[in-house]
Amino acid sequence: MIFSDLFFLFAFLPAFFLCYTVAAVADRRSRKSYAVTDDGSSQLQTGNMFKNMVLVVFSLIFYAWGEPVYVFLMIFSSFVNYRAGLFISSRQEHRKAALATGIGVNLLILGIFKYLGFFASILAGFGLPLQVPQIALPIGISFYTFQSISYLVDVYRRESPVQRRYADLLLYISMFPQLVAGPIVRYGTVAHEIQHRRVEMNDIAEGMFRFLIGLGKKVVMANQLSEISDQFLVGGLSELSTTGAWIGIVAFTFQIYFDFSGYSDMAIGLGRMIGFHFNENFRHPYCCDTITDFWRRWHISLGSFFRDYVYIPMGGNRQHQAMNILVVWFLTGMWHGASWNFILWGVYFGIIVMVEKYTVLRIKDRLPRFLLHLYSLVLVVIGWGIFYFDDFGKMQVFFNSFFGGGKVFDDFLTHSALMDNFWLWVAAVLFSMPIRTAVTGWLAGRLRQWDEPLAETLITAGRIAFSVALLVVCAALLVGATNNAFIYTRFYRKRKERR
């Protein structure tokens, strides 16, 4: 199940909020409960037992919708991390062993389901008599595995409290708003809110608006841009013109941004509506002035995970910096998928980031911002070309056309894709920049200077009208949509189809 689906929007989500509202009433009327604190004492508290129960049940249903069997894998993984966390917290003499065991089990599960077939095919290619296992990839396993690892490490470092209730740790790992495609939520971010969250009307309004903004990014922008990118990049690459290669990969560049950031917006919005505050995951990455800056803005939760749990423990900037950077970016590429193009993509950006530390970053203040921005965008677009093609033969044909080696430089198909979708291109450029935030902030400020009570009424009415219109447009576009899968699940399907 995905967020940009009519069943999710008009069946699953209403059913969830109905049950969640009833559970909230039950929690308010229930007796106060005792909780055991870290020092072993009992503390009287009001909990969210019924709300949490509803959230866990609906999260498991959400995850089981496609392949029910993998719900048991996630439940098992959660239990292992629950027991490992308790052991780390309570046993001083074997804390490292418990941490290593917990992380090892997480990585073993991830390795078996995501990478075993990949490495077996490599060894088979060297002539070893191995049968490549046919193991389906559970959706979202990379996200909840990394969340589990971050939980264990933070408990070990005493940066987060241990969770003593298995049901609450299962809630953290399985929470459907961010389960399938992130952001990667640290346990410390939501630890207090699991039992102590409160939801005000402002949270519901802000969360709903954020969710619909994300839905619009996905349905109105990403889905339409995917039709353009597929038109040029799927099949017929031998006839691809140079301008066609650029149009196709630029369309994909916008598509993947609106797809990923739209999903993060929807996750953050849904979390806000039920009292959780997830961190931002995208900050207008195409406004970057270096590749280093791009990766501070793109998939922030993933970058911070590798920084805090891999790069800094390896020595960070203190020792073997170049090697640390390359290892992190190799793992970043591997995390995105078990395919050589993802590894190449990660190493490509790792090399650029490493080179920038000794060149561009030292002189960027003396360089024109426009040139830095252009330099960054060209490298990002080339990177998405590597990311897109998991077949190196097709990748070579594409880049041959991309760099001017195609049969023709220009063709009618390119002009048609530009002119027939003119306003879509304009919207893609504008909405990938912080223009919406700047304009709405300026307008709200001017209205408040004029008449603050009336301004608040107009702002609220405007948001409601915009939200309703956006929902209607998205619903209309989703009726009969054939190109609606979230891009993460599309790469998952490609892997299954190759089998």
Contact 228, 243 (CB under 8 A): no
Looking at the fold, whether 217 and 243 belong to one and the same domain comes out as yes
Looking at the fold, whether 250 and 111 belong to one and the same domain comes out as no
Helix, strand, coil percentages for the chain (3-state, nearest 5): 75, 0, 25
Looking at the fold, whether 179 and 219 belong to one and the same domain comes out as no
Does residue 368 form part of some domain? yes
Looking at the fold, whether 87 and 191 belong to one and the same domain comes out as yes
Looking at the fold, whether 230 and 130 belong to one and the same domain comes out as no
Does residue 434 form part of some domain? no
Q: Residue 372: which domain range?
A: 203-429
Query: Pick from 168, 196, 224: which residue ends a domain?
Result: 196
Looking at the fold, whether 325 and 385 belong to one and the same domain comes out as yes
336 annotated active-site:
yes
Does residue 222 form part of some domain? yes
Total domains present in the chain: 2
Looking at the fold, whether 181 and 218 belong to one and the same domain comes out as no
Does residue 307 form part of some domain? yes
Does residue 481 form part of some domain? no
Contact 496, 136 (CB under 8 A): yes
Looking at the fold, whether 80 and 216 belong to one and the same domain comes out as no
Residue-level pLDDT at 42: 46
Looking at the fold, whether 179 and 139 belong to one and the same domain comes out as yes
Write down the catalytic residue from 196, 284, 299, 336: 336
In tens digits, what is the pLDDT along the chain, a chain of 499 residues? Answer: 788 889 999 999 999 999 999 998 888 887 555 455 554 544 444 578 899 999 999 999 998 887 788 899 999 999 999 999 999 988 777 889 999 999 999 999 999 988 888 888 888 877 777 777 777 788 888 999 999 999 999 999 999 889 999 999 999 999 999 888 779 999 989 998 998 888 888 888 889 999 999 999 999 999 999 999 999 998 778 888 999 999 999 999 999 999 999 999 999 999 999 999 999 999 999 999 999 999 999 999 999 999 999 999 998 888 888 899 999 999 999 998 888 999 999 999 999 999 999 899 999 889 999 999 999 999 999 999 999 998 899 999 999 999 988 778 888 888 899 999 999 999 999 999 888 777 777 776 666 666 667 666 777 777 788 888 999 999 998 887 766 667 765 555 444 444 4
Residue-level pLDDT at 146: 93
Query: Pick from 429, 451, 485: which residue ends a domain?
Result: 429
The token pair at 67 is 């392949």
Alpha-carbon Rg for the chain, nearest whole angstrom, is 24
Does residue 463 form part of some domain? no
What is the residue-wise DSSP string for 127-195? T---PPP--PPPTTHHHHHHHHHHHHHHHHTTSSPPP--HHHHHHHHH-HHHHTT-----HHHHHHHHH
Looking at the fold, whether 138 and 244 belong to one and the same domain comes out as no
Does residue 453 form part of some domain? no
Angstrom distances, CA of residue 296 to CA of 65, 139, 182, 426, 450: 34, 26, 17, 25, 38
Q: How many CB atoms lie within 10 A of CB 300?
A: 20
Looking at the fold, whether 271 and 181 belong to one and the same domain comes out as no
Residue-level pLDDT at 499: 41
CA distance 426 to 312: 41
Looking at the fold, whether 425 and 371 belong to one and the same domain comes out as yes
CA distance 75 to 78: 5
CA distance 294 to 275: 30
CA distance 351 to 410: 32
Residue-level pLDDT at 395: 93
Residue-level pLDDT at 320: 84
Residue-level pLDDT at 318: 84
Query: Pick from 408, 429, 450: which residue ends a domain?
Result: 429
Does residue 134 form part of some domain? yes
CA distance 149 to 146: 5
Strand-pair category, 42-45 with 33-36: antiparallel
What is the pTM for the complete model shown? 0.89
